[in-house]
Structure 1
Amino acid sequence: MRKISLPLKPVLPMLALGCALSAHAQTSELPLEVAAASLGETMVTATRVQQPLTDVVADVTVIGAQEIQRSGALTLTDLLARQAGFELVRNGGPGSTSSVYMRGAENRFTAVYIDGVRVDTQSTGGPPWEAIALGQIDRVEVVRGAAAAIYGSDAVAGVIQIFTRKGQGPFLPYVGVGFGNHGTKKAEAGFSGKSGGIDYAIGVERGTSHGFDSRPGSNPDDDGYNNTNASASVGWDINDVHRLEANGAYSNMEARYDGFTPNLDDQGVNRLRTGGLAWSARWTQNYSTRLSINESRQSYETRPSVYRSETTLRDYLFQNEWRSGSHLVNAALERREDRLVNSPIDRSRHQNAIALGYGFAGGAHTLQVNLRRDNDSEFGGQTTGSVSYGYSFAPGWRVTAAAGTSFRVPTLYQRFSQYGQPALRPEKGRNLEVGLHWADGGSRFGVAAYRNRVRNLITFGAAGPCGDFYGCYENTGRAEYQGITLSAAHKLAGVNLSGSLDVQEPTDLNTGKLMARRARNILKLAADTNVGSWTVGAEVQASSRRYDNAANTNVLGGYGLVNLYATTTIARQWTFLARINNVADKDYQLARGYATAGREFYVGLRWMMK
């Protein structure tokens, strides 16, 4: 791995703070293959089959319902930005164009699923972050590192799996309201439960905000949003062998923004609809299958200027799972179909794949091997593989190593729009990483070092083969995303301390420059404690300077944010939350020319039957 050259002045204080204060006493802030071992928690994202976290070798994070509620976050991107290895770029407030960089990699290099339904855009590529509603999310699982050998195209940097609420136990209704500055309001309601062999859950949420002036000096007005979202799921345990499931989610985000015409207030409408059907069967104690059909539709349009783009993604998956003692074998057949309608484009393509996986967890050793072959209707065969190994060499200590290959095919827009080139080739990556983790009761420490090299990187260059005056998409880039992540947790005198430090170097190998809008150093700290019936906490988010352009001449200054929150339970069924983000009202930018919210206040009250 090439040596990372970093300025010592800003890094050393971060290292000291990171090692001293570490991370939240919540398992969600830690490498969960060690952090949640004592909790018996399971996850499905790492291998696409359910397994104990103790058997997971990958660098993973699980964000549970309690942390989501306590975060006071209005968007999924705000929630992810507080996790290790993540950076957020947003052109204004909630609802505006957003990008999430995992380990410094491109926004389109993270594969995102909602209840097993793949969501993506066939325009510039990547998940439609602005359209994914946080209000219906019950749990988020994050896997860092190349996962194309399991998920196919797009999982170059990792995978994020989002789960909405599911029914369990008796009938459980809830309602909630929240208020904040900028005229922010939120209301939610829903219920869930299980009766006999049928479980169910339904939830709706409505959020509005006056917003703030996202582009000062352009059009002096507030750029607010209106968001309506809902989710529903139902499951039927027919008998001990068979189970049927259906789920659906809907989000409609209408956000105002300042376009290119002075004094004209434009509006972007981002809609996302997902739906899935699945049949699971456990044929024997060792062998089970799952057949699923999923579809997502994402559309974006602007008003009064006329623009509309719609992506439809359909997926068919037949998965087989065989377990015997310490061994787990899985095999899958999958077909993915993509379609883009973006006038004058009306194009589609498909991929057929076969995937094999083997896992072993016994004694001090954990092994995971995956191999996948995708046959793309436009680019032919693409083979990816991964292998990861963990060794517990002493009580509480574990060392891990992983290697994997990945790819992402160009979007239909990148090939067939006025800026496109049909001859574009798939982007391909090679990822290596090693980790060391220690856990003893409530104290934990972890370090992960990684290097992900991508060739055929698609960039937007000067006018050329496509003939457009503004420029063309082209396979000219080579990138290297390398870095080290430190994370830790410790309880001291009744205070839960936690944190993470990312020291990274996302580099354009053609120029040697830092990738645009990505920092070398990112620090996140948290602390919480109980004071009477209250839980009070503080968070710190700090980032070193970044560059707004590929030439590294337009500097975006570093920043540090402090957030405070307090929550308590009133009369068993009522939960109250108060939160202040950016306490010092720090003025900073994530993208040149776009303002951020400044100091934010939020209070919420939620009732849930118990």
Structure 2
Amino acid sequence: MRHISFRSRSLAGLGLILSAHAAAMPAHGADVLDPIIVTTATRTAVTADETLAPVTIITREDIERTPAVDVADLLNTHANIDVARNGGFGQPVSTFIRGANSSHTLVLVDGVRINPGTIGLAALQNIDPAHVERIEVVRGPRSALYGSDAIGGGINVITREPPEGGRWEASAGAGNHGARSGRASVGGAQGPWRGGVSVSHFEADGYPVVSDAETDHGHRNTSFNAHAGVDLGAWDVDLNHWQAEGRTEYWSFGDLSQDFLDRVTALTGRYGTHGPSSGRLRVTYHRSRIDQNDENFLGDLDHAHTTRTGVEWQHDHAIAPNQLLTLGIGWEREEVNALSFGTRIDERNHVRSGFVQHDLEAGPHRVIGALRVTDHDAFGSRTTGNLDYGYRLSSRWRLTAGAGTAYRAPDNTDRFGFGGNPDLRPETSRSVEAGVRFQPAPGTRWRAVVFENRIRDLIIFDGTRMENVERARITGLEVSVDHRAGPWRSRAELLWQTPRNETRDERLPRRARERAAFTLAYDQGRSDYQAQVVAVGGRKDSSFSDETLSGYGLLNLSAGHRLSGIWMLRGTVENLLDRDYETAAGYPARGRFVMLTLSAGGGL
């Protein structure tokens, strides 16, 4: 295999090059980075610039210009998120935010938790970017607002709503590895009513997902997204539904396949949207199913099913123009039914929670504090909190600091699967950070954050059963630069971290010590071009072996051209240099992947 080794010196050099590039770009005083409204960091609508917690935003423009076939591909183009994939299209992925375990990442679709109640890893590989409006990644603990899992951070995938006014869109694409895609959508509004629907299909013949396999392993995914709403005056009501369904082939001592279904439905009623007090009442439903199509050696067809229903109420009250008080309560019921190699799981859990958040701004100071109490059937009551502080030195400089606690309730596989332990305690963490933000010009932003996260009661398999025996300490530095000048836009991100298992005195597996990402885009209106560079350092593959995964570098390209008023042609290339690399030992990543897509859209 051809490998590239990246070390801290090379990434630091890359950072200097990117900084020089941003400084060398022509300055245009009228060019500004558009304000983006985010909701995940505080559960209230604020601009990304005003959010004290570090947030990464992947916009619709970013999505369209990235050669990604799922959300995991999109995340991997950013330096502050580690992504490990077991092979090719549709294979399971793990995401690591700030060096925490993959099970310490909370994943939401339109604010609804999709982490299953079995293995805890959300199926990001099943989310088609065609249905995504933007992705908000909050780095750092957020259990104070969302409860379990958000030790490293949270990922909120926000689906596309119908465009204002009547409009239709359609696209079709094809690429190597037998890849083909298609999408059609329509949306509109009439009086107080609005709605739209979108359907997409992606399919690939694939390639051998493990080094020892000789046959290709394919994947297909049919996704559906629908929104409907009505303005009733005092209330505004929305019904959202997203689902993905398909089949993935893989290899495990032979060629196998499994069917999957992921579904999220939410009915939301909002009130008081134009007054000092506002809120929402929401009913949610999540369904995750994995069904094996081939019998195991016991003659069983394994499966893993999670059904989760919930009700939540949130109320925001502006105490004064510079103070916002947020209150919330929630109830959730989770049902899990699974069978894995003769071990059956059939569990039901109820979770009740309440939280309060106070957002205060006084002169150059801003303080956001949140506290949550979560009552879980199996683990009793847990209290978590966050405190974020910002101080504006001037119109260009801002200092930030934050501290928080978080926890993760063991999933049902930890407790009742093979080697399960019903007496497991939740994993807990304490995190601190400090940062600086600098805006030398309207079109340029610099950000840097140092952080430390200490995790206790890490759950491991000790050879006979699952136990809370380990501790971890993760320290790091995140740096990012965004710059816009005329038709040019660039973004550079750097991450240095030391994710260590303190109990074993070793680095946590599959987390790089250094990562870098750079994007350069040029948009002249009718045509646009983009280049991305991703560099990842070496990582240890597993706590159970000494194998090390070599560092790698990727070059991705995208070019789009508007053929006419409604037609758009786009070509994307992932891994242009066709580098061989792995993010999990024995599972080769995709080589060069080329897609050509023709799309059209217009008014009804």
TM range (shorter): over 0.9
Alpha-carbon distance, 1:236 to partner? 0.8
Distance change (3 Å), C-alpha of 1:144 and 1:131: same
The partner residue of 2:222 within 216, 228, 232 is 228
Pair 1:341 & 2:337 matched: yes
The partner residue of 1:106 within 95, 101, 115 is 101
Q: Percent identity?
A: 29
SS at match of 2:325: strand
1:20 alignment partner AA: I
The answer to whether the 8 Å contact 1:90/1:97 transfers is yes
- Looking at structure 1, the residues matched to 461 and 177 of structure 2 have their Cα atoms a distance apart, in angstroms, of 36
- 2:268 equivalent in structure 1: 278
- Looking at structure 2, the residues matched to 460 and 127 of structure 1 have their Cα atoms a distance apart, in angstroms, of 21
Pair 1:331 & 2:331 matched: no
Alpha-carbon distance, 1:155 to partner? 1.0
The answer to whether the 8 Å contact 2:572/2:596 transfers is yes
The answer to whether the 8 Å contact 2:177/2:205 transfers is yes
SS at match of 2:65: helix
1:267 alignment partner AA: S
SS at match of 2:118: coil
Per-residue CA deviations over 1:345-403 (Å, capped at 9, x if unaligned) read 21011111110000023442221100011111111110001100111102311110000
Per-residue CA deviations over 1:441-465 (Å, capped at 9, x if unaligned) read 21221111111111011112211xx
Distance change (3 Å), C-alpha of 1:574 and 1:554: same
- 1:425 equivalent in structure 2: 425
Pair 1:550 & 2:550 matched: no
- Looking at structure 1, the residues matched to 532 and 486 of structure 2 have their Cα atoms a distance apart, in angstroms, of 18
Pair 1:301 & 2:302 matched: no
The answer to whether the 8 Å contact 2:317/2:325 transfers is yes
Alpha-carbon distance, 1:163 to partner? 1.4
- Looking at structure 2, the residues matched to 586 and 423 of structure 1 have their Cα atoms a distance apart, in angstroms, of 46
SS at match of 1:246: strand
The partner residue of 2:73 within 50, 70, 78 is 78
- Looking at structure 2, the residues matched to 541 and 410 of structure 1 have their Cα atoms a distance apart, in angstroms, of 33
SS at match of 1:394: coil
TM normalised by structure 2 equals 0.92
- 2:10 equivalent in structure 1: 13
**Structure 2 counterparts to residues 448-487 of structure 1, below 5 A:** 448-463=449-464, 472-487=465-480
The answer to whether the 8 Å contact 1:23/1:490 transfers is no
The partner residue of 1:575 within 554, 563, 568 is 568
Pair 1:528 & 2:521 matched: yes
**Structure 2 counterparts to residues 185-196 of structure 1, below 5 A:** 185-196=180-191
2:9 alignment partner AA: L
- Looking at structure 1, the residues matched to 45 and 54 of structure 2 have their Cα atoms a distance apart, in angstroms, of 16
Alpha-carbon distance, 1:61 to partner? 1.8
- Looking at structure 2, the residues matched to 382 and 493 of structure 1 have their Cα atoms a distance apart, in angstroms, of 50
The partner residue of 1:512 within 505, 515, 524 is 505
- Looking at structure 2, the residues matched to 63 and 245 of structure 1 have their Cα atoms a distance apart, in angstroms, of 24
The answer to whether the 8 Å contact 2:375/2:382 transfers is yes
Distance change (3 Å), C-alpha of 1:201 and 1:408: same
Alpha-carbon distance, 1:491 to partner? 4.8
Per-residue CA deviations over 1:490-531 (Å, capped at 9, x if unaligned) read 357964332111101111111111111111111111112246
Unaligned runs of 5+ in 2: 23-30, 296-300
SS at match of 1:66: helix
Distance change (3 Å), C-alpha of 1:442 and 1:302: same
- 2:26 equivalent in structure 1: none
The answer to whether the 8 Å contact 1:212/1:222 transfers is yes
- 1:468 equivalent in structure 2: none
Pair 1:490 & 2:480 matched: no
Distance change (3 Å), C-alpha of 1:331 and 1:189: same
**Structure 2 counterparts to residues 398-437 of structure 1, below 5 A:** 398-437=398-437
SS at match of 1:12: helix
1:14 alignment partner AA: L
Alpha-carbon distance, 1:245 to partner? 1.0
Unaligned runs of 5+ in 1: 1-7, 26-35, 464-471
- Looking at structure 2, the residues matched to 80 and 23 of structure 1 have their Cα atoms a distance apart, in angstroms, of 26
The partner residue of 1:141 within 122, 136, 139 is 136
2:520 alignment partner AA: A
SS at match of 1:78: helix
1:505 alignment partner AA: T
The answer to whether the 8 Å contact 2:32/2:442 transfers is no
Alpha-carbon distance, 1:78 to partner? 0.2
The answer to whether the 8 Å contact 1:188/1:206 transfers is yes
1:252 alignment partner AA: E
SS at match of 2:587: coil
Distance change (3 Å), C-alpha of 1:451 and 1:520: same
1:373 alignment partner AA: V
Alpha-carbon distance, 1:570 to partner? 2.1
1:202 alignment partner AA: V
1:183 alignment partner AA: G
- Looking at structure 1, the residues matched to 482 and 462 of structure 2 have their Cα atoms a distance apart, in angstroms, of 44
1:144 alignment partner AA: R
Alpha-carbon distance, 1:253 to partner? 3.0
C-alpha root-mean-square deviation of aligned residues, in Å? 2.0
- Looking at structure 2, the residues matched to 166 and 480 of structure 1 have their Cα atoms a distance apart, in angstroms, of 40
Alpha-carbon distance, 1:604 to partner? 0.8
SS at match of 1:67: helix
1:224 alignment partner AA: G
TM normalised by structure 1 equals 0.91
SS at match of 1:177: strand
The answer to whether the 8 Å contact 2:70/2:126 transfers is no
Alpha-carbon distance, 1:284 to partner? 7.1
- 1:250 equivalent in structure 2: 243
The answer to whether the 8 Å contact 1:386/1:405 transfers is yes
- Looking at structure 1, the residues matched to 258 and 532 of structure 2 have their Cα atoms a distance apart, in angstroms, of 32
SS at match of 1:13: helix
Pair 1:360 & 2:339 matched: no
Distance change (3 Å), C-alpha of 1:181 and 1:9: closer
Distance change (3 Å), C-alpha of 1:283 and 1:178: closer
The answer to whether the 8 Å contact 1:496/1:529 transfers is yes
- Looking at structure 1, the residues matched to 462 and 141 of structure 2 have their Cα atoms a distance apart, in angstroms, of 26
**Structure 2 counterparts to residues 47-62 of structure 1, below 5 A:** 47-62=42-57
- 1:95 equivalent in structure 2: 90
The partner residue of 2:314 within 294, 313, 319 is 319
Alpha-carbon distance, 1:544 to partner? 1.0
- Looking at structure 2, the residues matched to 57 and 273 of structure 1 have their Cα atoms a distance apart, in angstroms, of 32
Per-residue CA deviations over 1:172-217 (Å, capped at 9, x if unaligned) read 1000011110010000001122222122121000111010111132
Aligned length in residues = 580
The answer to whether the 8 Å contact 1:359/1:369 transfers is yes
- Looking at structure 1, the residues matched to 534 and 49 of structure 2 have their Cα atoms a distance apart, in angstroms, of 29
Deviates more, 1:52-61 or 1:16-25: 16-25
- Looking at structure 1, the residues matched to 467 and 55 of structure 2 have their Cα atoms a distance apart, in angstroms, of 33
The answer to whether the 8 Å contact 1:18/1:525 transfers is no
- Looking at structure 1, the residues matched to 348 and 21 of structure 2 have their Cα atoms a distance apart, in angstroms, of 45
The answer to whether the 8 Å contact 1:243/1:281 transfers is yes
